[in-house]
Amino acid sequence: MTRTPPAPIGPADVIVVGRLALAAGQWYPAHSHGEHQLVWAARGAVGVRTGDGTFVLPTSLALWVPAGVEHATGAVDALDLRGIYLAPERCPVTWTEPTVVAVSPLLRELLEHLASPGAAGRAEAEALAVQLLEPVRTATVRVPWPRDDRARAVADALDADPADQRTLAAWGRTVGASARTLARIWLAETGTSFARWRTQLRLQAALPRLVAGVPVAVVARAVGYETPSAFVAAFRRTTGVTPGSYFARS
């Protein structure tokens, strides 16, 4: 891991940016900041776990994490992370929930510029970067985890092997609960049905493979889809775009 931490936010600064390289699978445990944070990777795919679930973000997306919100950040694959912090008292953005934003080519250049020591025109660059923070219309992949021990055992097993095709009834026989009980737990604790949750999990497992350039047909089989077209259809239903568009927006 290599790291260039951001300098403390000065009395006139709105944004400070540091650089951090993470190896695949490396995570920072749950923590919070007194500043707002924009979680963005200039290379690779970054994962962010919050109370709302797990977000997986390619370079074309970032996650706004309000000050005080607990989160864990890590590398879905090897990445160059930017530690972007914004002073709450001087930042006009007031979102109170984690919010996905699009990273346009201009915003990307501004963030990289602000990461350079002694960046020229800092005040102007900060002001423009903040103006460019807009919620993205396209959904991202989010996988909230159940709390019930039986449901969590199923979730952990599927996380280890997303291609597992067992039904909820079959899982119930494994963990000692009826399919109806597990379905009720899943909806109450994740806010979604088991079938939809499993789709989200499979797409989350697919993202690092897609980032690495693995062909869609190979990725589809690895995460449990019989055909590439079925995988692409599920991806589009969840995010609103195809896998190619999801990674090409910036």
CATH, range 142-248? 1.10.10.60
Q: What is the rounded distance in angstroms from the CA atom of residue 115 to the CA atom of residue 22?
A: 17
pLDDT at 25: 82
Dihedral sign (CA 56, 60, 218, 198): positive
Quote the longest CA-to-CA distance of the chain: 63
pLDDT at 2: 47
| CA distances in angstroms from 123 to 5, 15, 16, 114, 216, listed in the order given | 20, 9, 11, 10, 43
pLDDT at 171: 97
Q: What is the rounded distance in angstroms from the CA atom of residue 200 to the CA atom of residue 203?
A: 5
Q: Which residues of the chain have pLDDT under 50?
A: 1-3, 5-12, 250
Of 28, 47, 48, residue with least CA distance to 97: 48
| CA distances in angstroms from 116 to 4, 39, 110, 122, listed in the order given | 10, 17, 10, 10
- State the architecture of 2-137 in CATH terms: Sandwich (2.60)
pLDDT at 250: 43
| DSSP summary character for residue 135 | B
- Computed over its alpha carbons, how large is the radius of gyration of the chain? 19
pLDDT at 138: 61
Tell me the two tokens of residue 138. Answer: 């396209």
Domain ranges of the chain: 2-137, 142-248
Of 202, 70, 57, 74, residue with least CA distance to 143: 202
